[in-house]
């Protein structure tokens, strides 16, 4: 009798505990849905943008240091270009972590800074390159060659990270275009370092910087003409991981 009574008592306790457990699950579900929006918006595409931003920052620091110690205008110009991209990537990170209206505003600012900054930067690099052509200086070609190759590999990695979110957003596509172009520019920097190393003529470094400035300006204008409506009126990011773009 005592055993049967104990079992009935334990059964009643379990039945009484079930509503409490159900309430806890409902509360947990409610709390989960009320998490701050930035935490809820971090998905695969956003993580890729964050990783690309960190990788691009490392490239900027490495190229800036190499350009300073090698006196290479080509490396310094490439670092400056990556710095402009870094500003846009940081704004994109903030945009996709915030609310929808704030996200669209920050995307628009990132687009304008990317486009306007690169056009101004192209003019500055061209001016410096023309000055270097008139008065060539010594360039540490070995540093320029190795730095250009490492930067090219890093830029290809950043472009690969941005390739998936770029399929669903024009602002990210512009950043992806820049980093893909940066990889080509870094290879050109390495090639100019090799030419200076083989010939001893530092004029190749200045010529590369001049060509890089012209190429940057043309690529930005082409993208603005192609996607100006999307860039001025950006859309929310759509993550298309696993889909072919």
Measured between alpha carbons, how far is 126 from 14 in angstroms, rounded to an integer? 79
Measured between alpha carbons, how far is 100 from 129 in angstroms, rounded to an integer? 42
pLDDT of the chain, 245 residues: tens digit per residue:
555 555 665 666 565 555 554 444 444 443 333 434 343 345 677 888 899 999 999 999 999 998 888 888 888 888 887 887 787 788 778 777 665 556 666 666 666 766 777 788 788 888 878 888 888 777 888 888 999 999 999 999 999 999 888 887 777 887 888 788 788 888 888 888 888 888 888 888 888 888 888 887 887 787 777 665 555 555 555 555 544 43
Composition of the chain by helix, strand, coil, percent to 5: 85, 0, 15
One-character DSSP codes across 192-232: HHHHHHHH--THHHHHHHHHHHHHHHHHHHHHHHHHHHHHH
Measured between alpha carbons, how far is 114 from 157 in angstroms, rounded to an integer? 20
- Structure confidence at residue 153 (pLDDT): 94
- Structure confidence at residue 56 (pLDDT): 93
- Structure confidence at residue 155 (pLDDT): 92
Give which of 81, 59, 89 is closest to 185, Cα–Cα: 81
**54 CB neighbour count, 10 Å cutoff:** 13
Residues 6+ apart with CB under 8 A from 198: none
- Structure confidence at residue 234 (pLDDT): 54
**154 CB neighbour count, 10 Å cutoff:** 22
* For the chain, domain boundaries: 1-34, 44-232
Which class in CATH covers the domain with range 44-232? Answer: mainly alpha
- Structure confidence at residue 211 (pLDDT): 86
Distances (CA, A) of 112 to 23, 85, 165, 242: 50, 12, 19, 30
- Structure confidence at residue 28 (pLDDT): 44
């Amino acid at each position: 009798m005592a055993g049967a009574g104990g079992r009935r008592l334990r059964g009643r306790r379990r039945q009484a505990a079930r509503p409490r457990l159900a309430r806890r699950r409902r509360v947990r579900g409610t709390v989960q849905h009320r998490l701050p929006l930035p935490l809820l918006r971090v998905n695969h595409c956003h993580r890729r943008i964050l990783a690309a931003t960190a990788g691009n920052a490392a490239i900027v620091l490495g190229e800036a240091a190499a350009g300073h110690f090698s006196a290479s205008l080509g490396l310094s110009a490439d670092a400056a270009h990556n710095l402009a991209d870094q500003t846009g990537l940081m704004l994109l990170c903030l945009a996709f972590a915030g609310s929808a209206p704030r996200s669209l505003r920050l995307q628009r600012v990132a687009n304008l800074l990317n486009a306007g900054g690169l056009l101004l930067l192209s003019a500055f690099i061209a001016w410096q390159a023309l000055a270097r052509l008139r008065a060539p200086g010594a360039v540490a070609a070995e540093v320029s060659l190795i730095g250009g190759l490492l930067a090219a590999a890093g830029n290809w990695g950043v472009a690969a990270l941005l390739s998936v979110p770029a399929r669903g957003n024009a602002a990210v596509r512009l950043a992806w275009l820049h980093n893909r172009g940066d990889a080509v520019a870094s290879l050109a920097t390495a090639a100019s370092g090799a030419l200076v190393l083989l010939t001893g003529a530092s004029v190749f470094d200045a010529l590369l910087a001049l060509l890089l400035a012209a190429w940057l300006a043309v690529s930005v204008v082409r993208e603005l003409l192609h996607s100006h409506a999307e860039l001025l009126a950006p859309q929310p990011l759509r993550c298309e991981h696993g889909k072919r773009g």
